[in-house]
Each structure stands twice: as C-alpha cells, then as structure tokens.
Amino acid sequence: METINKTKDKYIFKTEIEDSLINSIRRYVGQIQLAAIDEVEIIKNDSPLYDETLAHRLGLVPLKQSSKKEGKLKLSSQEKGMVYSGSLKGDFEVVYDKIPLTILSAGQEIELIANVKIGKGQEHAKFSPGIFPLILFDVNFITSMFLSSFIILYIFCPTSVSKVPFSNKTRLGLNIIPHPFFKMYISLLFYSFLIYLY
C-alpha cells in the first residue's frame, strides 16, 4: 500500500484491492460511532429557509469528536449577511467554520439550540465519517476498445462526408449510415466491457 496524502482528517492511499473488499470496508465504516447534530429546537427563524431545510443543513455539519456522548450547540445571530457554521457554540466544535447555513437580511434574526448525540453511519448519513473508494481501470484496454469500435464502425457504417453540409455531420465530421450489424456490435461491446469489469 502506498500512502499518497495523510492529514488529520484525510487519508489517501493507493493499493491493488478487490472490489468486494472495498465494499466490505465501506460497509464497516458505517459501524464507526461519530457525533452529529440529531435534533434542532428552532426558537426563531426569520431566514428564507424553512425550519426543516435549516435543520437538515445543521445535521450535516461535521463536528470534532471528543469523549462526550452528547451535548448542545447554540446559534444566535441578528447580523445581516451569511450565517456560517462557525456561529455554532457549545459542547462540541465544528470541523469547518465556513459552511454556509443561511442568510439574513436587515432586521431578521435566527436563534436555535441543536442537540448532539453519538450515532453510526448505518443509521443516518450525518454519522458517516465519509469514504470514497476510487477504482482505476486499465487505460490501455479502454483506449484500444474504443479505437477498435471506431474502426468497426467505419467498416460497417459507410460514410459520406463530401455530400452533406457540415451542419448535418456528427461531432466527428461524419454522416454515419446505420447498418444491420450496428446494434449487434454495440451490444457485444457493452457486454465485453461488463465481463472485463467482472
């Protein structure tokens, strides 16, 4: 395994691994317990967002983990402009303090209390620590496959470039005439690609 980048909140590595194992890791990550905003008590909300929309945004704000099992965060603002996640103050700290929550105009006010609890990613996405497996395919295989497809298309689908105006041509500059074997070849190409992935 080759480590590409490692920080306090991100780990990028490169390795050869089976798809089934990647899926197992993805499922296991859902068992990790994390703190997230679970319920929101909105006292006043003059912003353009509905209470439900605002609560949903708050639930997806990542929090720094601590030994506490639960806690509260408070947000109160009367300032005109964007309200960011950094305005949340209480028992937990936010990871990113510049996440836009809502916007206030002059004379508007927002006040709420958010309850934080520990949960698992299998319960809700807000408890997921996040993982993105990146699968790289054989570039040479993909390139040769599509090059061969254009060659076969050229053989089985006659072209007439000089007899049609440019506006009627395809992006390749060719006027492709359908052939009975065209659908058969596309199907064969598609299933060959699926077999390669398997």
pLDDT bin (cut points 50, 70, 90) of residue 165 is very low
pLDDT bin (cut points 50, 70, 90) of residue 72 is very high
Tens of pLDDT, residues 10-53: 778 778 878 788 778 878 888 888 899 999 999 999 999 999 99
Please determine, for residue 181, whether its predicted confidence score (pLDDT) is greater than 90: no
Tens of pLDDT, residues 96-137: 889 999 999 999 999 999 999 998 888 888 888 876 666 655
- The CA distance from 92 to 129, in Å, is 16
Domains (range + CATH), the chain: 1-136 (2.170.120.12), 139-197 (no CATH)
Average pLDDT, integer, range 173-185: 53
Per-residue pLDDT, 111: 94
- The CA distance from 66 to 125, in Å, is 19
- The CA distance from 135 to 42, in Å, is 42
